[in-house]
Structure 1
Amino acid sequence: MHRRHLLALAAATLASPALAQSGAWPGRQQVRIVIPFPPGGFADSVTRVMVPAMTEAMGQTVVVENRPGAGGTIGADVVAKAAPDGYTLAVSHASPHGIAPGVYPQLPYDPVSDFAHLTLICETPTALMVQRSSGIATAQDYLARARATGIRFGTSGIGSIGHLQGEVLAREAGGAKLEHVPYRGTAPALQDLLAGAIESIFEPIAGLVPQMREGGPLRPLAVSTPRRIAVLPDVPTLAELGLGEATATAWMGFSAPKSLPPAIGARITEVAQAVLGRPEVRARMEELAVFPAEPPLTGPAYANFIETYMRKWTGVARGANIVAS
């Protein structure tokens, strides 16, 4: 659907609470959005920015439920097995939907066919970060230390995009000894970095930019986008450093259990896209350094996006022999 037409339909939904309440859905219970990670990370922060406006638009309470664990696969499985009635939605995400098939030998769901993929919400770069007081000023310093003594890097879990990027970085850099330390989300990884328990993290930058600016406790060494980003204009890209194979973004969207009635899926998509168009939501997302998809990817286009991402990064995971227990 053309973006202008999509937003026009969604704006009508937002402008009329009665429209949101008409028909069989939503009408009998609150809408639950399952986030497959703990509070404080990229997916959690973005979803909580959107929920108040979604509640208003739908004329029904929208609540967030954090179901972390196993690289996001526990939360994803909860939604895959839920009733396809529009009252349980998933935050689909790079880890449980794009990478997990290459990491988990017996994944309890199919990342594509067990879901009705509704819309890509946004993307955010990942960054290699250290403590500002670490004595590591550049990516070159980081790699030199990794070659000499080894460095630990934390991520939000086994099979996260940061984990795979770290594996690619070690391979491309040649001789760099990088030890992965998995956590149950970005927040605990960041906590250990600031406490000095690990030397670096490789994580989405959403919500962390204020801590990366001059005087903040974090020093970004490189970002994962093909080009430099406006919020961190002095930070080089991995591609500039000759490490372009690690280029990738983290992303999130909204999905539902398979067999969701198409009319309900269309209404959820319309509301989500309209919320993304709200100035106050856009402003907050810019502060978080997340970028709404342009043009929107909805329905089959979003499913194709997931499949393409999955092909690349599951191949990386298998090539690096990354297996989650």
Structure 2
Amino acid sequence: MANGSGWIASFVFTLMLAASPAAAQIDFPKRHIHVILPYPAGGIVDIATRIVTDRLSGLWRQPFVVEAKPAGGGNVAWDQVSRAAPDGYTWTFIAPAIMANPRMYANLRWSDKSFTPVAAIAWAPSVLVVHPSVPVSTMAEFIDYVRARPGILNWGNPGVGTSQHLNTAIFLTATNLDMLAVPYGGQPPAILDLRANRVQFNVSSIGLVTEHVVSGAVKALAVLGTARSPLLPNTPTVSEAGYPEINVVPWYGFAVPSGTPQPVVEKIAAGFQEVIKTVQVRELLQKQGLEPMQPMDLAELAKLYGEHTQKYANVIREAGIKRSD
């Protein structure tokens, strides 16, 4: 694990020292901002990015160029951003894999410390779903059902280091269940195979799977989220279902390369804090199944980033997830 809690505390302290009025005085941005995404165009990450950058573009009167580079489980995008000039004009997206991948891939040229987080915009709740042929209606029933059939049921893994992969690992480790992982190149094909009963269980983003739950093509057991989702109001959270220990909710945000001048970091963070408060932005994020977060200052954000980095390191170790080349 990378340096433990020491670097986290140092990082938080550094950001706390930076609360100066300098950000309000700097002339930034002067030109377009390049946002490099680790996931495909048209997905929830892309949509959420455009929701907030459209508002920031209006605020700063500068354009944004959003580019998707989804190869390598996000590693291609994060490698490029980690080596970009630390001037505030290149951003990337924070998702669980930015914290987990350095512990799951060998020979990366970047780590979670290669970036400075500048915004947390939303919690990204998921839902535990099963094929309707599985004769259960609650998490407890499902756990008992799988426990009686070790190694028989399949689950869809949409990608190494994705929140769905990590949340499934948390679930299986905490409940001591044995299911077979089937790899997929993203959530949509995994959801389609759940509908077809080629896999029997998925952890899926609420925004992607709600229509399938409503149609009856799949069955929702519980939501990984801070509260019940307005898209699935009758589905309890995993905490309500009696399993709070697995309720690790991913979050989405943005980061810049480490070494970006602190006044620039502050200016970017202040912009996000302003736009995330607007009703329009919050409503648009909610329509994607996301839970908009309250604005955070940089110290709070650094603490969140460090805590979740530690959580995913623990998950990877406890689940015995091995490094890939």
Give the alignment of 1:24-43 within 5 angstroms: 25-28=28-31, 30-43=32-45
Cα distance, 1:269 vs structure 2? 1.9
Cα distance, 1:59 vs structure 2? 1.3
> CA 1:31 to 1:218, structure 2 compared with 1: closer, same or farther past 3 Å?
farther
Q: What is the one-letter code of the residue matched to 2:304?
A: F
Tell me, in whole angstroms, the C-alpha distance in 1 between the residues paired with 2:187 and 2:308: 21
Cα distance, 1:100 vs structure 2? 2.2
Tell me, in whole angstroms, the C-alpha distance in 2 between the residues paired with 1:102 and 1:136: 35
CA RMSD of superposed structures (Å)? 2.7
Q: Who is 2:90 aligned against?
A: 88
Q: Who is 1:181 aligned against?
A: 182
Q: What is the one-letter code of the residue matched to 2:34?
A: R
Q: Who is 2:17 aligned against?
A: none
Please tell me whether the aligned partners of residues 104 and 322 of structure 2 are also in contact (alpha carbons under 8 angstroms).
Answer: yes
Tell me, in whole angstroms, the C-alpha distance in 1 between the residues paired with 2:178 and 2:189: 23
Cα distance, 1:282 vs structure 2? 1.5
Secondary structure, aligned partner of 1:284: helix
Tell me, in whole angstroms, the C-alpha distance in 1 between the residues paired with 2:167 and 2:175: 12
> CA 1:189 to 1:54, structure 2 compared with 1: closer, same or farther past 3 Å?
farther
Secondary structure, aligned partner of 2:312: helix
Tell me, in whole angstroms, the C-alpha distance in 2 between the residues paired with 1:117 and 1:246: 25
Secondary structure, aligned partner of 1:254: strand
> CA 1:115 to 1:171, structure 2 compared with 1: closer, same or farther past 3 Å?
closer
Q: Who is 2:206 aligned against?
A: 205
Cα distance, 1:322 vs structure 2? 0.4
> CA 1:116 to 1:236, structure 2 compared with 1: closer, same or farther past 3 Å?
same
Give the alignment of 1:45-194 within 5 angstroms: 45-97=47-99, 99-112=100-113, 114-132=114-132, 136-147=136-147, 148=149, 150-174=152-176, 176-194=177-195
> CA 1:42 to 1:131, structure 2 compared with 1: closer, same or farther past 3 Å?
farther
Cα distance, 1:284 vs structure 2? 1.3
Q: What is the one-letter code of the residue matched to 2:181?
A: H
Unaligned runs of 5+ in 2: 1-20
Tell me, in whole angstroms, the C-alpha distance in 1 between the residues paired with 2:48 and 2:164: 19
Cα distance, 1:115 vs structure 2? 1.5
What is the number of residues matched between the two proteins? 300
Secondary structure, aligned partner of 1:249: coil
Question: TM-score, normalized by length of structure 2?
Answer: 0.81
1:260 and 2:278 correspond: no
Q: Who is 2:302 aligned against?
A: 303
> CA 1:191 to 1:40, structure 2 compared with 1: closer, same or farther past 3 Å?
farther
Please tell me whether the aligned partners of residues 117 and 305 of structure 2 are also in contact (alpha carbons under 8 angstroms).
Answer: no
Q: Who is 1:4 aligned against?
A: none
Please tell me whether the aligned partners of residues 173 and 319 of structure 2 are also in contact (alpha carbons under 8 angstroms).
Answer: no
> CA 1:60 to 1:191, structure 2 compared with 1: closer, same or farther past 3 Å?
farther
Tell me, in whole angstroms, the C-alpha distance in 2 between the residues paired with 1:71 and 1:281: 28
Cα distance, 1:210 vs structure 2? 4.1
Secondary structure, aligned partner of 2:124: strand
Between 237-246 and 311-320, the greater mean CA deviation after superposition: 237-246
Please tell me whether the aligned partners of residues 31 and 63 of structure 1 are also in contact (alpha carbons under 8 angstroms).
Answer: yes
1:123-164 residue CA offsets vs partner (Å, 9 max, x unmatched): 121211234566654434533443326222223312323223
> CA 1:45 to 1:129, structure 2 compared with 1: closer, same or farther past 3 Å?
farther
1:11-42 residue CA offsets vs partner (Å, 9 max, x unmatched): xx9xxxxx9xx93x3334x3111111123443
> CA 1:117 to 1:84, structure 2 compared with 1: closer, same or farther past 3 Å?
same
Deviating beyond 6 angstroms after TM superposition, the runs of 4 or more aligned structure 1 residues are: none
Q: What is the one-letter code of the residue matched to 2:200?
A: E
Q: Who is 1:5 aligned against?
A: none
Cα distance, 1:242 vs structure 2? 3.9
Q: What is the one-letter code of the residue matched to 2:30?
A: G
Please tell me whether the aligned partners of residues 101 and 314 of structure 1 are also in contact (alpha carbons under 8 angstroms).
Answer: no
Cα distance, 1:300 vs structure 2? 3.2
Between 238-247 and 299-308, the greater mean CA deviation after superposition: 238-247
Tell me, in whole angstroms, the C-alpha distance in 2 between the residues paired with 1:165 and 1:67: 24
Tell me, in whole angstroms, the C-alpha distance in 2 between the residues paired with 1:318 and 1:69: 25
Tell me, in whole angstroms, the C-alpha distance in 2 between the residues paired with 1:141 and 1:44: 36
